[in-house]
Amino acid sequence: MIETKSLCKHYGSFTAVDNLSFCVEAGTVLGFLGPNGAGKSTTMKMLTGFLTPSAGSALVNGVDVSEDSLAARMQIGYLPEGAPSYGEMTVQQFLSFVARARLIEKARVVDSVNEVIERLNLSGVKHQAIETLSKGFKRRVGLAQAIIHDPQILILDEPTDGLDPNQKREVRHLIRDMARDKIIVISTHILEEVEAVCNRVMIIAQGKLLADDTPHGLIARSRYNNSVSLVVEAAEKVASVLSELPEVAKAELNEGELTLFPSQKQGLFEAVTTAISEHQWDVSALRLEAGRLDEVFRNITRGEISA
Amino acid sequence: MNGAVNVMRRELAGYFATPVAYVFLIIFLVMTGIFTFYLGNFYTRGFADLDPFFRFHPWLYLFLVPAIAMRLWSEERRLGTIELLLTLPLTTSGAVVGKFLAAWLFIGLALVLTVPMWITVNYLGSPDNGVIFATYIGSWLMAGGFLAIGSCMSALTRNQVVAFILSVVVCFLFLLSGLPMVMNLFNGWAPQIVLDGVASLSFLKHFADIEKGVIDLRDLIYFVLMIGFWLIANVVILDMKKAD
């Protein structure tokens, strides 16, 4: 379990993290979402004991990170931003170094290095110097060192940054695989990633916690939630007819696509389909929207919706 | 302790994975050769000892040791690996000692590679090998002092050039603290006890003592304290200023 109490970090007069309190249970994949410079990385650095909080505290499985940093660090696997590693070492040397530093028993070091190399598909490059590898491989080496000791808590700062779509999928798959009994905290500014891997999202901006919800819950905050969009001939006429329906709160026409916003939770889609068949409109596309995360994100980080 | 040994092994391997090690060793050997034979008149002075060899070590170390030390922490800062290293379950002092030991052993290796000089002098005459051995130890200890200063300076900045210049300046002050150009700063206004204190901080003075062939406990303690002090300062600086 990770618990923070009024965590703060100031740099002079600048407040990077402002009074952050939250609690994460095992089995959670928590996504820190926020614009650049929101305080995501700073929070992670405090959780891993790299930075000391200016005020407040962070507890990892009951251990205060600033009081017993060593004990806390033992339970954490950490991928720092940009996946730094020692470029002159080969993948195998580097992972062996981390394995020993992670206090894995001597007899197990070789095995755990091999396992993690296997797991992240690094066997082909294990004798290559890390600085000669592509960005995707470097990131995977970073992930490998974070999970080599099978930590209960994984903190990954932008784990898929710089990867191509296939590699992103692989990494997300890996994260979901490990998620069952662990706590995984990832930071990202990629919205689709949150939907793909997280079961909890915290939106942070200017060091403040603005929203703490499930991805579903967040999407449901969108004004597009349960709205219906259609592409139709003579859209303006259709719009004026449909806006008369009691289920429709508002109709918007945008680049040939007509979007209808619901006045109540249920029944809009049915009402629209009934109207379409009644009037025999020539509809070429029709869909019910769950909501748009990018719109929610924009609104929350601009302060238009409060938590 | 395990942490320090692990870091030391990684660092040592790192030296030989890059040209740093080879460049340093070659330059060190060439420079000691030049100093000994040309400036030290090794042959013409007609004594079978290694004094012309050791006499220039402080000046050689003044530039070569900061060159080794400058990357110790600045590079970790610049590459961001400091975040990786210091979130591993090892103490800051373990990491500092590990890095220091690796660099110190490496300088030790450079010294060991000068042994042909020792063999030569034995071939040419019959030197006092006890003195030579003691001076080797003294030289290595002095290198450790320079190195601890350099490591500490390197922790201050992410810029290796700045780290190098800072180390050279601080090492230079300690090297010369017994000589008139530094003593004159204190002469006339500081009490005798301060003058003695400053004079006794001199690397040159303590190394000269050892070079006479007697390893005095005070000289040993001086270098050990010097190393200890700067490494503790190194740990404190890192703990205070980990990021950026």
Query: Rounded to two decimals, what is the model's pTM?
Result: 0.88
Residue B73 has which token pair? 């922490």
Q: How far apart are CA A96 and CA A127, in angstroms?
A: 12
The domain boundary, picked from A181, A202, A220, lies at A220
Q: How far apart are CA B74 and CA B163, in angstroms?
A: 7
Both A58 and A96 in one domain: the answer is yes
**Residue A143 clears pLDDT 70, i.e. is over it:** yes
In this complex, do B91 and A70 lie within 8 Å of one another by their Cβ atoms? yes
Report if residue A118 sits inside a domain. Answer: yes
Report if residue A17 sits inside a domain. Answer: yes
Both A48 and A191 in one domain: the answer is yes
Q: Which of A50, A85, A60 has the alpha carbon at shortest distance from B242?
A: A50
A277: domain CATH number? 3.30.70.100
Contacts of B10 in chain A (CB under 8 A): 86, 89, 93, 97
Report if residue A307 sits inside a domain. Answer: no
In this complex, do B89 and A81 lie within 8 Å of one another by their Cβ atoms? no
Q: How far apart are CA A245 and CA A230, in angstroms?
A: 16
Domain of A243, in residue numbers: 228-289
Residue A186 has which token pair? 């990832």
**CB of B244 less than 8 A from some CB of A:** no
A56: domain CATH number? 3.40.50.300
Contacts of B8 in chain A (CB under 8 A): none
Q: How far apart are CA A72 and CA A66, in angstroms?
A: 9
In this complex, do A89 and B14 lie within 8 Å of one another by their Cβ atoms? yes
In this complex, do B79 and A87 lie within 8 Å of one another by their Cβ atoms? yes
Both A232 and A176 in one domain: the answer is no
Report if residue A296 sits inside a domain. Answer: no
Q: How far apart are CA B231 and CA B233, in angstroms?
A: 5
Average pLDDT value for residue range A194-206: 90
Both A193 and A258 in one domain: the answer is no
Distance of CA B191 to the CA centre of its chain: 31
Both A256 and A172 in one domain: the answer is no
Spans of all domains in chain B: 2-240
Both A278 and A146 in one domain: the answer is no
Report if residue A299 sits inside a domain. Answer: no
Residue % of chain A over a pLDDT of 70: 98
Both A148 and A251 in one domain: the answer is no
Both A72 and A197 in one domain: the answer is yes
Query: What pLDDT sits at residue B204?
Result: 83
The domain boundary, picked from A192, A220, A248, lies at A220
Task: Identify the helix (H) or strand (E) that includes residue B119.
Answer: helix B115-124
Mean pLDDT for chain A overall:
89
Q: How far apart are CA A65 and CA A67, in angstroms?
A: 6
Report if residue A304 sits inside a domain. Answer: no
pLDDT-based confidence at A303, cuts 50/70/90? Answer: low
Q: How far apart are CA A17 and CA A5, in angstroms?
A: 12
Both A190 and A68 in one domain: the answer is yes
Query: What pLDDT sits at residue B244?
Result: 59
Residues 6+ apart with CB under 8 A from B130: B213
| Nearest CB partner across the interface for A86, out of B14, B83, B86 | B14
Q: How far apart are CA A45 and CA A41, in angstroms?
A: 6
B201: which DSSP letter? Answer: T
Report if residue A65 sits inside a domain. Answer: yes
**CB of B21 less than 8 A from some CB of A:** no
Both A170 and A214 in one domain: the answer is yes
Both A86 and A183 in one domain: the answer is yes
Residues of A near B (CB-CB distance < 8 A)?
A: 45, 48-51, 70, 73-74, 76, 78, 80-82, 84-89, 93, 97-98, 100-103, 129, 145
Query: What pLDDT sits at residue A304?
Result: 43
Cβ–Cβ < 8 Å for A127, A119: no
- Max alpha carbon distance in chain B (Å)? 58
Q: How many domains does chain A have?
A: 2
A46-71 tens-digit pLDDT: 999 999 999 999 999 999 998 999 99
| Nearest CB partner across the interface for A102, out of B81, B89, B242 | B89
Contacts of A50 in chain B (CB under 8 A): 83, 86-87, 242-243
Report if residue A174 sits inside a domain. Answer: yes
Residue % of chain B over a pLDDT of 90: 51
In this complex, do A49 and B87 lie within 8 Å of one another by their Cβ atoms? yes
A202-243 tens-digit pLDDT: 999 888 999 999 988 988 888 888 888 889 888 888 888 888
Query: What pLDDT sits at residue A191?
Result: 85
B104-130 tens-digit pLDDT: 999 999 999 999 988 988 888 888 888
Contacts of B3 in chain A (CB under 8 A): 101
In this complex, do B83 and A50 lie within 8 Å of one another by their Cβ atoms? yes
Both A186 and A270 in one domain: the answer is no
Query: What pLDDT sits at residue A305?
Result: 44
